Amino acid sequence: MSSSPEQESNALLDACQESLRAEARLFAGRVRALVRLDALADAGRTRRFLELEVAGSLVVGQLTAARWLAQADRFDRALPTTLSMLEAGALLVGQALAVLHTTEHCPEQIAAAVEAEVLPGGADLCPGDLRRLVAATVLRIESEQSDAAAAEQRHADAAAERRTFSKPGTDGMGFAGAVLTAEQLRTWSLGLDELERSERVSDRQAGNDRTADQRRADLFAALPAMVLAGRAGNASCVSTDIVPQIVLNVHVPMATVLELTREPGSMDGHGPVSAEHVRLLRPTLLRRVLVDADSGRPVAVDDKTSRVAAEPGAARAQLLGMLRPDVVTDRAEPQHDPSARLSRLVDLRDVRCAGPGCGSTRTDRDHLEPYPQGPTAAWNLGRLSARCHAAKHNGWTLLRHPDGSTTWTSPLNRTYHRPSPHRPPPRVPHDAEPPPLRPPPVANPPRWVPAPEPTPPVPPDGETDGGPELPAEPPF
């Protein structure tokens, strides 16, 4: 009796899952073998040439052999739980490498503490979500085990190492890039996206045929000339005089700002940032976000921002004044497109697309229940990328949970769970006193003065700003 297409598709997906588990077990076996080879080589005083032996036997380059040996040693010494779960097929290779790479700069004891906290609960996360969870846990544990002033100085010293580089390539091409602070990188990325959108309109009008990546590359190459042209009437203008017309959203627990906890914050489009890094940002504008005490999910956002007081003591009093109770209501709006106020809440709350394995921040604001049957209200709105939005209207069903997580069911009746992008806020005693105010560390950080926030555009449902996702890592 022949099987249906749905049955065959499910069987093929099951086979793919089992092949990935088998790959994980084989990968763990290779790691164990390399660890043992390294131990035998040390005992036999042949460690100096072990990379040659591995390279010749496994038909790889010596640099690859050295990297595999180093990774095997790191798994064995610092990540025993990860390695054990790989051996059992309970963790896949991509997930294990996400844990390895995100903890590679940590001392072994911190890496082990991080994996013990994150695994095995993180085994159901895609590598991107797992990487963000591990990164946030690393930042918190590192902060708890280090001196806050020393950590802040380390971040400030790292910011002083920002630089650019260029490298010739082949076929008349080359590479260029920069080492930037997290806020500089995010500002650059958002600004380039905005420039690309305006170039797209110009290309359409002029009949030019360029891809989004080609427009971005051309803009990147033209940026110095564009700045020089803008300075033509003011030769004395320098980079620190330029106020970026871009707003960065940095989510920070109030307890972190008051230095009652070392819980990290997060920057939209970038990921976790340490408590020390948050203090170094020293923003000029604040916006109060009310969150659910159990899940950390935003439930309301103040309409107006407040300018941070210049004097540290007054700034702390300003923060304490924000700690007041409030009544939150989820009112429906009478129109299809959400207002700027509601759009702001949805964008801050959902952070990114909620689709399986999707990390896109280029999203539509989708009605869970189609309008007008479903209202334009916070509970009925969520962010979805163009692809995930189309899937929802073509046989996939989406269930949003109160904690911000989602469950998708495909036409093959397979379910996929996506965790919330938020974490529960840290618990601190009600009578906890903030520590004495400390001056910022001495270093050479970039000047950062965000511009006043513009009213966000509100695209109608079913539309997106288009363009492919920027690569997670540059090709250089």
State mean pLDDT over 288-317.
89
Provide the pLDDT for residue 444.
56
Please tell me whether the overall predicted TM-score, pTM, comes out greater than 0.85 for this model.
no
Whole-angstrom distance, CA of residue 297 vs CA of residue 251: 11
Whole-angstrom distance, CA of residue 260 vs CA of residue 426: 9
Provide the pLDDT for residue 335.
93
**Of 33, 35, 19, 25, nearest to 90 (Cα)?**
25
C-beta neighbour count of 25 within 10 angstroms = 15
Provide the pLDDT for residue 474.
36
Provide the pLDDT for residue 52.
92
Whole-angstrom distance, CA of residue 402 vs CA of residue 363: 21
Residue 22 has pLDDT above 60, yes or no: yes
**pLDDT band at 30; cut points 50, 70, 90:** very high
State mean pLDDT over 153-164.
86
SS3 assignment, position 425 = coil
**pLDDT band at 103; cut points 50, 70, 90:** very high
**Of 236, 230, 476, 459, nearest to 338 (Cα)?**
459
Residue 451 has pLDDT above 70, yes or no: no
Whole-angstrom distance, CA of residue 186 vs CA of residue 448: 12
Residue 287 has pLDDT above 80, yes or no: yes
Lowest mean pLDDT, pick from 122-131, 243-252, 361-370: 243-252
**pLDDT band at 179; cut points 50, 70, 90:** very high
φ, ψ of residue 222 to 5 degrees: the values are -90, -5
Whole-angstrom distance, CA of residue 337 vs CA of residue 180: 37
Distances (CA, A) of 245 to 195, 446, 453: 12, 16, 8
Mean of the per-residue pLDDT values of the chain:
85
Provide the pLDDT for residue 49.
87
- Give the model confidence (pLDDT) of 402-431 as tens digits: 999 999 999 999 999 999 999 888 888 877
Between 282 and 301, name the one with better pLDDT. Answer: 301
Between 93 and 245, name the one with better pLDDT. Answer: 93
Between 232 and 374, name the one with better pLDDT. Answer: 374
Provide the pLDDT for residue 45.
67
**pLDDT band at 463; cut points 50, 70, 90:** very low
pLDDT-above-90 percentage for the chain: 48
Provide the pLDDT for residue 100.
97
Provide the pLDDT for residue 28.
97
